[in-house]
């Protein structure tokens, strides 16, 4: 059975998912953490049974020279609350701690982070630079690695298609997590960008393995076999290796997601989603795009 036969379906599916992801980038848009926006994040453990309205009333009763303004609250099932607010000074932090302890009872601070707006803007810019530089470096590396590909195939095609699949993987992953952020406490932070860079590395590795198989088969067959047949056979030879690698990776990540620390759970979930999408794109997107591009020339 040809693995390229359902290519039109998968290309249509990927196009629809990418369009949807672009749409949710604007509406509702990503929920950025203080890593990128600047501000203060404070997480405290509450007495069992404390309701969100009680925390809101306690914050409203807090008196300081400068009002706290809008405070975003995220209450979890294990009686902890995550508060995001403007930059607060150390004296304000201590005063707020004491005030909440008085109003809410026995509380315990689990996390406190303050990032200035200038630092947040710098981190946002550097994150985009990191993703852009990684994409350009991959195009150059793949083009160099496949510079001796036979049949007058441009090595740049391999590099460009590898990056197209990476954009596909990153964009759909971002779209999924924008939707997740609307119903959970998830926010886009620097750890999420780290996960995206990890996904890029994982996905391009899988794609290059298949492309390398295509190159080897082209060198063996010379001009006797159609390029589409060579690509299809190469994909068939590589599919079990890709699936086995992905399944073993997902088993490890799933265990880490279930048993690991709460602080890395979103990071691990991003890797799970990205690795799954990366495997799909390597098998059902990259090779068909290479075949279609060859047919048009």
Structure tokens at 31: 């929920």
At 165-223, the pLDDT tens digits run 999 999 999 999 999 988 887 889 888 999 999 999 888 888 888 888 888 888 776 56
Residues 6+ apart with CB under 8 A from 236: 3
Query: What are the structural domain ranges in the chain?
Result: 7-33+119-295, 39-115
DSSP 3-state assignment of 187? coil
Our separate counts of H helices and E strands in the chain read 10, 4
Specify the pLDDT at position 280.
93
Determine contact, residues 25/175, Cβ cutoff 8 Å.
yes
Q: How far is CA 245 from the centre of its chain?
A: 20
Tell me which fold the domain 7-33+119-295 belongs to: Multidrug efflux transporter AcrB transmembrane fold (1.20.1640)
b/e sequence 114-142, b meaning 16+ C-beta within 10 Å: bbeeeebeebbeebeebbeebbeebbeeb
Q: What percent of the chain has pLDDT over 90?
A: 26
Partners of 41 in beta bridges: 84, 113
First to last CA, the chain: 26
Instruction: Tell which phi-psi region holds residue 151, choosing left (phi > 0), alpha (psi between -120 and 50) or beta.
Output: left
Determine contact, residues 195/274, Cβ cutoff 8 Å.
yes
At 256-289, the pLDDT tens digits run 999 887 778 899 999 999 999 999 998 899 989 9
The pTM score is 0.82
DSSP 41: E
Q: How far apart are CA 166 and CA 208, in angstroms?
A: 12
At 242-258, the pLDDT tens digits run 889 999 999 999 999 99
Q: How far apart are CA 180 and CA 187, in angstroms?
A: 9
b/e sequence 46-63, b meaning 16+ C-beta within 10 Å: beeebeeebbeebbeebe
DSSP string, 218-270: HHHHTTSS-HHHHHHHHHHHHHHHHHHHHHHHHHHHHHHHHHS-GGGHHHHHH
Q: In CATH, what class is 39-115? A: alpha beta
């Amino acid at each position: 059975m040809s693995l390229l036969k359902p290519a039109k379906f998968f290309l249509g599916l990927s196009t629809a998912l990418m369009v949807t992801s672009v749409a949710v980038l604007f509406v509702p848009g990503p929920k950025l953490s203080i890593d990128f926006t600047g501000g203060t994040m404070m997480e405290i453990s509450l007495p069992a049974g404390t309701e969100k309205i009680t925390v809101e009333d306690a914050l409203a009763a807090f008196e300081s020279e400068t009002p706290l303004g809008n405070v975003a609250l995220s209450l979890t099932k294990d009686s902890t609350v995550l508060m995001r607010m403007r930059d607060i000074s150390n004296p304000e932090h201590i005063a707020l701690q004491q005030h909440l302890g008085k109003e809410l009872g026995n509380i315990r601070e689990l996390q406190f982070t303050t990032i200035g707006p200038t630092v947040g803007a710098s981190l946002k810019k550097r994150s985009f630079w990191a993703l852009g530089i990684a994409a350009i470096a991959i195009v150059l590396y793949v083009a160099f690695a496949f510079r001796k590909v036979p049949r007058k195939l441009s090595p740049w095609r391999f590099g460009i298609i590898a990056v197209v699949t990476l954009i596909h993987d990153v964009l759909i992953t971002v779209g999924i997590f924008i939707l997740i952020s609307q119903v959970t406490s998830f926010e886009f932070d620097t750890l999420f960008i780290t996960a995206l860079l990890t996904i890029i590395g994982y996905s391009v590795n899988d794609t290059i393995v298949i492309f390398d198989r295509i190159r080897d088969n082209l060198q063996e067959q010379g001009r006797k076999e159609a390029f589409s047949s060579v690509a299809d056979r190469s994909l068939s030879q590589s599919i079990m290796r890709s699936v086995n690698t992905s399944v073993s990776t997902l088993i490890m990540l799933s265990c880490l997601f279930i048993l690991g620390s709460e602080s890395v759970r979103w990071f691990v979930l991003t890797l799970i989603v990205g690795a799954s999408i990366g495997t799909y794109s390597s098998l059902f997107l990259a090779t068909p795009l290479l075949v279609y591009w060859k047919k048009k020339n």
